[in-house]
Amino acid sequence: MSTAARDGVAVITIDYPPVNALGATSIAPLLAALTIAQSDPAVTAVVLHGANGTFSGGADMRGFGVVPPPRPNTRDFIEALETSTKPIVAALEGNVLGGGLEVALGCDYRIASPGARMAFPEIKRGLLPGAGGTQRAPRLIGIKESLAMILGGDPVDGIRAKALGLVDEIASADVLEAAIAFARTLAGKARRRISEMAPQHDAAALAAARERAQPAERGGLAEQRAIDCVEEATTLPFAEGLARERDRFVELLGSEQSKARLHIFFAEREAAKPPDGAPAGPFTVRTATIIGSGTMGGGIAMACANAGIAVTVVDLKPELLERAKAIMSGNYAATMKKGRLTEAEMNARLGRISYATSLDAAADVDLVIEAVFEEMEIKKDVFRQLDRIAKPGTMLASNTSTLDIDAIAAVTSRPQDVVGLHFFSPANVMRLLEIVRGARSSPEAIARALAFAKQVGKVGVVAGNCDGFIGNRMLHQYFREAAFLMEEGAPPQQIDRVIKDFGFAMGPFATGDLAGLDVGWRIRKGKNAISPPVGRYSRVADALCELGRFGQKTGAGYYRYEPGNRTPIPDPMVDEITERIAREDGIARRTVSDDEILKRCLYPLVNEAAKELDEGIAARPGDVDVVWIYGYGFPVWRGGPLRWADSIGIATIVDDMREFERVHGSNWTPAALLVELAQTGGGGTFGAWKARSTANA
C-alpha cells in the first residue's frame, strides 16, 4: 500500500495483520507500489514503514514447506529495493524481525523509534537469515556484532541499534514523520547500498563463535551454517556469499531440526487457544492475592508483579511474610546486579507486592491463587474460606501439583470459577503453566486462565484433571522405567549420560537429586495422590530416602556431592543398594545398551501421552510437546516427545514396545492410540492425528 508523494517522498506501507509477515500476498502490493514510485517524476525518495505500529515480524513462516515456494518472496522484495532508482528510507518501530530486518538492510537508511525491537530470530527457528542478513549485517555492523545478533536471535532496541550502526537516526517523536523528513534531504543524492560496502574480517570473533556453537548433531546445525555464511561475507564477493546463504537456508528449511522448532513455535500459539474453541475473551488481571508465602507463593507473586499486577501475599505468620519479602527482594537485587533490571524497575515491582495475614485480602481481587502446603485438607479449608470471602466472579486457582482439583472445587459454591494453575519452580522463571480444567470449570474460566498465562509471560497449556496432569504423569513413567534399568544393571551415570547425549540438560537421576528424592517418597507414601502408584516401582529411591539420602540437599542421593559442589559423583554405595534390591526381587543383572536405555526412558513418555490424548487429558499432540519443551527441558530441536516419536516412526516404536512387553510385562502394552497410528489407516503420525481430531471436533 502506498500514499501519494508528499514533498517528493512516496510512503509505502507493509500492511498484513497481525504481524506484517512477509509472504507472496503481502509482498506483491509492495512491489507494485515501488514500481509506481520509480516511474513517478514527482517522487525523489521512498519511505517504507509498517502499519499498526510495527514494521514486520519477518517472513511468513506459514508458507515454509509449500511447494513450489511462493513468490515473490522476501529476497525478491529486497532485490527490488536495492535496484530502485530512488533512495529508500526504512521507518522502524515495533517488531523488526528476521526478514523484516533484512528488508530494512536493503534500504539506504534506517530511522528507528527508541523502543523498536530489531532481531534475527531465525536461529530460534533452526534457520539463518536467508534474505541477505548474513551478508549485509557484517558489512554494516561488523562480524562480531553480527554473529551476536544472528547466533543469539535476541532483539536490540533502537538506542542499541544506533550505537551499533544498524540504524542511522533515532526518531524523537513520530518515526514516520522523521523518516519522511530524512528522505526529503536525499533528493538527487547517490544510493547507499550495504552490499557495496567492504566487510572487515574478524578471525577472533569467528573462532570464538565456533568455540561456543553447539555441534550440528546436538541441535547446532543452524549455528554452524550461519557462522559459515558470516565468514564468507568477508571472503566471497557479495553475490557469491548471497548464493551460498540461499543454499544453506534451503538446507536448513528442509532439516528436521528446523521443522521441529517451527512445530513448537506454532504449537505454543495453538496451545494458547482454548481447546474447546470457547472465545478467549479479553481478560486482564489487575489485582491478585496469593495464599501462601513459600517458594511457590513467592515465585508466583513475583511473576504477577513482573507483569504489572498489584499482588498481595497472604500467610498466617508475619515472620513468614518477612522471610518471603527478603527472598523476593534478594531475587530482584540479584537480577538488577546482572544488569537485567534497573533499580527503578526493581522498586516498581517490589512496590506492587503487599503482605497480609488475613484471607480478607482476597475479598476484592480479580484472581486468587492458593499455594499452601500440598495437603488436601489444608487446601480445602482455604477454599471454603475463599468461597465465603472472595467477591463473585473472582477466579479461584490452586497451584497444586498432585491433588484432585475437583475435590478442591467441590468445597466451594462456585466450582465453575475454580481451576488449577500448576506453576513450575522457580515460578518467576519457568515458562510453563499447566492450566488444570476441573470437571465443572467453565469455558470462560479456562479462557481467562489462558489469557492470564499470556499476561504473565507464561506458556499456558490446558490439562485435564488426573494424577500428574500432562507433564508429571508422563515423567512418572519415565523415571520409573529408568529406575528399573538401574536395577537391571545400568548405573545411574550411564543412564544420565544417554539422556544428556539425547539433548536434555540432565538425566533422570541427577534431576531427582536436584529436585529432592523425598518429594516423590512423600507422594508415594501419601494418601493425597488422586490415585496411589499403579504397578511395581523400584524400591531403590525409598531405600535411599530411608537412609536420609534425599539428593543434593543432603549431600547424597543417587550420587554423592562434595560440600558446596553440585557435581554428581558416582557412589558405590548406591550400586550396592541396587544390587541388594535386585537380588531380593529376583532381578537378573546384565549389561544394558545405550540404545535400550534411550528407548526405555523415552517411549514411556510417548505411550503415556497417547493415553492422555485418548482420555482428553491433553487436547492436542502439540500441547504435550510444548509442556515438555517448557517444563522439562526436552531438546527444542527435536520438537518434543510426540514430534520426536513421529520422526522415529510410530510403527517402529510399537514394534519395540511389543518386545519390551514380552520381556517386562504390561507396563509396555502400547496405548490404543499408538496401535491405531501404527496401522496404516491410522495416518501414522501424531501430526496427522491432530489434524483429523481437529477436523472431527
Catalytic residue numbers read: 102, 122
Residue the block writes with cell 512477509: 22
> Whole-number minimum distance, CB 177 to ligand T1G, in Å?
24
Nearer to ligand T1G, 187 or 280 (CB): 280
CB of 141 to ligand T1G, least distance (A): 17
Strands 559-560 and 432-437 turn out to be: unpaired
| Per-residue cell: 428 | 518467576
* CB of 152 vs ligand T1G, minimal distance in Å: 13
Which lies closer to ligand T1G via its Cβ, residue 129 or residue 507?
A: 129
Q: Which of 154, 151, 123, 125 is nearest to 231 (CA)?
A: 151
d(CA 219, CA 216): 6
Q: Which is nearer to ligand T1G, 182 or 238 (CB)?
A: 238
| C-beta atoms surrounding 115 within 10 Å | 11
Which stretches of 465-548 are assigned E, i.e. beta strand? none
Contact segment (CB under 6 A) with ligand T1G among 53-61, 321-329, 351-359, 497-505 equals 53-61
Q: Is 230 in the site for ligand T1G (CB under 6 A)?
A: no
CA atoms within 13 Å, Cβ hemisphere of 58:
23
Q: Which residues contact 226 (CB under 8 A, 6 or more apart)?
A: 123, 128, 129, 134, 150, 151, 248
Q: Does 275 bind ligand T1G (CB under 6 A)?
A: no
The residue range among 122-130, 160-168, 546-554, 659-667 that interacts with ligand T1G, by the rule CB under 6 A, is 122-130
CA distance 557 to 544: 6
- What stretches of 633-690 adopt beta strand conformation (E)? none
Taking the least distance from each CB to ligand T1G, the nearer of 95 and 289 is 95
Minimum separation from the CB atom of position 127 to ligand T1G (A)? 5
Q: Which of residues 132-151 bind ligand T1G (CB under 6 A)?
A: 133
Mapping DSSP to helix (H, G, I), strand (E, B) and coil, where does residue 17 land?
Answer: coil
CB of 253: closest distance to ligand T1G in angstroms?
8
Closest approach, Cβ 249 to ligand T1G, in A, equals 7
Q: Which is nearer to ligand T1G, 43 or 229 (CB)?
A: 229
Nearer to ligand T1G by C-beta: 167 or 264? 264
- Choose which of 5, 10, 14, 21 interacts with ligand T1G (CB under 6 A): 21
Q: DSSP string spanning 246-274? A: HHHHHHHHTSHHHHHHHHHHHHHHHHTS-
Tell how strand 45-50 and strand 88-92 pair up.
parallel
Question: Is 98 among the residues that bind ligand T1G (CB under 6 A)?
Answer: yes
**Interaction between residue 460 and ligand T1G (CB under 6 A):** no
Site for ligand T1G contains 589 (CB under 6 A)? no
* Interaction of residue 129 with ligand T1G, rule CB under 6 A: yes
Stretch of 91-99, 312-320, 584-592, 688-696 lying at the interface with ligand T1G (CB under 6 A): 91-99
User: Is 627 among the residues that bind ligand T1G (CB under 6 A)?
Assistant: no
Applying CB under 6 A, among 5, 11, 27, 59 the residue interacting with ligand T1G is 59
- Return the C-alpha cell found at 410: 467441590
**57 makes contact with ligand T1G (CB under 6 A):** yes
Residue 129 vs 635, nearer CB to ligand T1G: 129
Q: Which stretch binds ligand T1G (CB under 6 A): 129-137, 509-517, 608-616, 642-650?
A: 129-137
Strands 367-370 and 353-356: unpaired
Q: 543-573: string of b/e by CB count within 10 Å (b at 16+)?
A: ebbeeebbbbebbbbbbbbeeeeeebeebee
Collect all residues with Cβ–Cβ distance below 8 Å to 547 and sequence separation of at least 6: none
CB-wise, 48 or 59, nearer to ligand T1G?
A: 59
Among 19, 403, 436, 653, binds ligand T1G (CB under 6 A): 19
122, 417, 488, 608: residue in contact with ligand T1G (rule CB under 6 A) = 122
388 near ligand T1G, judged by CB under 6 A: no
Is the separation of the CB atoms in 464 and 406 below 8 Å?
A: no
Cell numbers of 244, please? 551460498
The burial class, CB within 10 Å (0-12 / 13-18 / 19+), for 67 is exposed
CB of 21 to ligand T1G, least distance (A): 4
Task: Name the residues that contact ligand T1G, by CB under 6 A.
Answer: 18-19, 21, 57-62, 74, 95, 97-99, 102, 121-122, 125, 127, 129-131, 133, 266, 269
